[in-house]
Structure 1
Amino acid sequence: MPERPPLTLFSGDTTAAVPASAVVFDPARLTQARQLAGLTKAALASQIGVSGAAVSQWESMTSPPRPDHLLRVAEVLDVPVEFFAAGRPFAQLDGAGAHFRSLRSTKAAQRAKAVAFAQQVWELTHVLERHVQLPAIDLPGFLPDDPSELGDNPAAAARALRAHWGIGPGPIPHLVRTMEIRGIVTTMVEFAGGDTPTVNAFSTSRMPRPMIVLTPDRGDDVCWHRFTAAHELGHLVLHRDAAPGDSEQEHDADAFAAEFLTPADQIRDQLPRRFDINALRQLSHEWGVSIKSLVYRSCETGTISDAVARRAYQRLNHLYEVGILGSDLVAQYPGEIPALLAKAFELAENHGTLTLTSLARELRWRPNRVRQLLGQPDDRPVLRLVTDLETTAR
């Protein structure tokens, strides 16, 4: 077997048509595809022309679907029929194994869609790792044979992780790339058809690799994006085995993120003793955190009083409303855009071990789905058919 090349990161249909009768049906695949499509069992049943009980029986494997029904399911869910075939690795994950950034505002169906997406990200990672050596996982305590721990105190854990990763004093210029270099799978692609604003972000330690899912809905604010990534990193460090949903966990993850991005002993003396918008803007640019975050940090470190902080927030809200203050796009900062999976595919493609078509065939996905999870734009020209009436009007 040829040696896999190591991956270095800087600081039509997948196969010929397969008869539905030849598919050894895997019910977990149906559940995954249905949840990704955002359909209930009843909604899927309605589009296929069967009862909701029939879909329930298919997913529980009480009774597998008939070949004609399976073909219709594949059509409705926009997957090749071989997607439902058993025999390839499947990542078991449920909503109880993921920490959601906005759990209370995320509906159960949205969480299910997000979890199904995470399952597919793992499958893509798993296949790519057959062809490319991904960065080794370097997250203390994550691997079973790694007894090291960073502790459960958020600030102390953040300082310990900075030291463990060899991050010196000062800002972290490329946070997302820093996490990817340590083997943390990070992704930022549209996966829910515009349904992700309430999801925001989530993370899980229940996969063979730690995973952070960021959504592009807040791509207009790189500071928010960086803090969210650090927040999810906090969950991976602090709450690996804890059940998600505890408000105290969210507070701890915020405290971790603040200390990881702006260590108190480093930022305290730089913070202005009064509300100074110019000084705060400069610090925001240098440290890659929002001005509001710096005001909160100022209050937290005792640099300003609660009263001064309240007045500062009021002033900041006004400055944002009138457009004097704004935010930067994440796209302007390549080091904050996930690249691990895309670079892995590019390396495998350059070594002649993978093509988009062969990768899609291995995953049993359509090529456009592979492009989507790799974060590749679909550059194909769009065919537009013009009617005779439209031609006449012109």
Structure 2
Amino acid sequence: MTYKSLADHCGISSKMASLYEKFPDDYQPTETTVDKISSALAFPKDFFYQDSIEELEFETVAFRSLKTLRAAQKNAATGAGRIGILLNDYFERKFNLPHSNIPDYGGFPPEEVALLIRAEWNLGDKSISNLINLLEAYGVRVFSLSENAQEVDAFSFWKGGIPFVFLNTKKTPERSRFDCAHELGHLLMHRYSENKGNDIEKEADRFASAFLMPESSIRVNVPRFITANEIIKVKSRWRVSAMALTYRLKALDHLTEWQYRNLIIELSKMGYRSNEPIGIEREKSTLLENLLTELSKNRVYIVDIARELRLPVDEISSLLFKFSVVSSSSATIKKTQNTASFSKPQLYIV
């Protein structure tokens, strides 16, 4: 919301709305105005009286598709990031979560980093079945993006030595998976980089492509002369989009320029330019699911978490891959995605 929009909802001037936010010690709204602000923003009134939420500097965040983002979209995304930090702090107080094991490969070529981290994590050249679970096992906190930040593909940052990744779940599962690998590239290669331009975005793309589709696996499983239908058939091996696999084949000189162009044209006609007609199941966070399952055993649900953090239930649910609950007295957690059980009070990912 802009200051003007908020001011119109609350019957105050946009200047006062700005002063309330920027200088809370000097300019404090009346109780009636706070009620109106709470109603306009759909946030609990108590939220505005708690200690300030830790800042997340824009310069520390690696955004996917940075050039296309407006300031309001960046602010919405970093706002989601700050709430994600609050949620992680809450879970850290309740559970022993995996420690970060994300090496610093700054300065290395992206393709070499892909090989190094695969060796570090004993992945060989095999396909990765669930990338979110893999990142969580090595200490990355992965959240979904809220509705008001859906123009953002993905972003990542480090906070207090903990790596965070936020993913847009409105994209195709293949696109979201590639975005996740892209953000891993940023965490591995650009932790201390001051350059936030197009160059590091290209490096993260190169890493994601090489990490998800190892060259040795491509050479063995993809014939030199391949049709669009065969691309669609074999792409499921690496759980990537048809276009991503085609780009990777071209980068490895596995296709001629003529083959590449014709495949792109044919795949586009088949609907694979912006969609994935024959796609994979969407990945989800097993870690977050397990945390909520464990909490539910003690009759703690998302509404209870929201109450403790003084946040809207929908705001929290949207960051937790749309896990939702009817009420704090519910016997089970209702989810919009398939679930798996887990039963350890001290939670670790193995």
- What is the root-mean-square deviation of aligned Cα atoms in Å? 2.5
Q: TM-score, normalised by structure 1?
A: 0.75
Cα distance in 1, alignment partners of residues 213 and 303 from structure 2: 44
For residues 70 and 99 of structure 2, the distance between their equivalents in structure 1, rounded to whole angstroms, comes to 34
C-alpha contact (below 8 Å) 2:185/2:207 kept by paired residues: yes
Contact in 1 for aligned 2:144/2:318 (Cα 8 Å): no
Cα pair distance change 1:270/1:128, threshold 3 Å? same
Deviation of 1:109 after TM superposition, in Å, equals 0.4
* Structure-to-structure mapping, 1:78-117, within 5 angstroms: 78-87=42-51, 90-117=53-80
1:247 to partner: Cα distance: 1.0
In the other structure, the counterpart of 2:166 is: 213
Kindly tell me: are residues 357 and 302 of structure 1, through their superposed partners in 2, closer, same or farther at Cα, counting changes over 3 Å? closer
Q: Which of the numbers 75, 84, 91 marks the counterpart of 2:39? A: 75
2:96 is aligned with what amino acid? Q
Offset, 1:345: 2.6
Gapped runs of 5+ residues in structure 1?
1-38, 142-148, 381-394
Quote how far apart the aligned CAs of 1:295 are.
2.0
- The corresponding residue for 2:12 is 50
Corresponding residue for residue 330 of structure 2: none
**1:148-227 matched pairs, under 5 angstroms:** 149=105, 151-192=107-148, 196=150, 198-206=151-159, 208-218=161-171, 221-227=172-178
How many angstroms does 1:171 deviate by?
0.9
Q: What do residues 168-198 of structure 1 show as CA deviations (whole Å, max 9, x unaligned)?
A: 2221111111111112111225431xx51x3
Aligned to 2:339: none
Q: Which of these two proteins has the greater Rg computed from alpha carbons? A: 1
CA distance in 1: counterparts of 2:34 and 2:206, whole angstroms: 49
Distance 2:309 2:48 in 1: 11
User: What is the CA-CA distance between 1:130 and the residue it aligns to?
Assistant: 0.5
Distance 1:271 1:321, change over 3 A: closer
Go from structure 1 to structure 2 and tell me whether the alpha carbon gap of 1:357 and 1:281 turns closer, same or farther (over 3 Å shift): closer
Tell me by how many angstroms 1:290 deviates: 2.0
Does residue 298 of structure 2 align to residue 347 of structure 1? Answer: no
Change (3 A) 1:150 1:249: closer
The corresponding residue for 2:318 is 372
Contact 1:226 1:289 in 2 (8 A): yes
CA distance in 2, matches of 1:55, 1:94: 22
Distance (Å, rounded) in 2 between the aligned partners of 1:123 and 1:245: 25
Cα distance between partner residues in 2 of 1:300 and 1:343: 39
Spell out, residue by residue over 1:362-381, the C-alpha distance to the aligned partner (whole angstroms, 9 max, x if none). Answer: 2012334333333224658x
- d(CA) in 1 for partners of 2:307, 2:286: 22
Distance 2:323 2:62 in 1: 27
**Partners in 2 of 1:44 and 1:371 — Cα distance?**
24
Q: 2:259 aligns with which of 297, 308, 321?
A: 308
Give the whole-Å Cα distance in 2 for the aligned partners of 1:247 and 1:156: 20
Deviation, structure 1 residue 243: 4.0
What per-residue deviation string (whole Å, max 9, x for no partner) do you get for residues 141-164 of structure 1?
4xxxxxxx4643111111111111
Structure 2: segments with no counterpart, 5+ residues: 328-350
> Which residue does the alignment assign to 1:247?
198
Instruction: Say if 1:132 and 1:348, in contact at 8 Å, map to a contact too.
Output: no
Tell me how far apart the structure 2 counterparts of residues 72 and 283 of structure 1 sit (CA, whole Å). Answer: 55
Paired residue for 1:25? none
Which residue of structure 2 aligns with residue 145 of structure 1? Answer: none
Q: Distance in 2 between matches of 1:106 and 1:327?
A: 29
* Cα distance in structure 1, aligned partners of 2:325 and 2:296: 18
Check the 8 A contact 1:272/1:279 in 2, yes or no: no
Question: Are 1:128 and 1:345, in contact at CA under 8 Å, matched by a contact in 2?
Answer: no
- What code does the residue aligned with 2:253 have? G
Residues 340/91 of structure 1: CA separation in 2 closer, same or farther (3 Å cut): farther
Deviation at 1:99, TM superposition (A): 1.8
In the alignment, the residues of structure 1 paired with residue 310 and residue 108 of structure 2 have an alpha-carbon distance, to the nearest angstrom, of 41
TM-score (norm 2): 0.84
Change (3 A) 1:63 1:342: same
Count of residues in correspondence between the two structures:
324
What does the per-residue CA deviation read over 1:293-348, in whole Å, with 9 as the maximum and x for residues that have no partner? 222222211222222211111121122279x972325xx34xx2123233213213
- Which deviates more, 110-119 or 166-175? 166-175
Sort the Cα spacing of 1:42 and 1:238 in 2 relative to 1 into closer, same or farther, 3 A.
same
SS at match of 1:104: helix
Which whole-Å CA distance do the structure 2 matches of 1:139 and 1:299 have between them? Answer: 29
Letter in 2 for 1:138: N
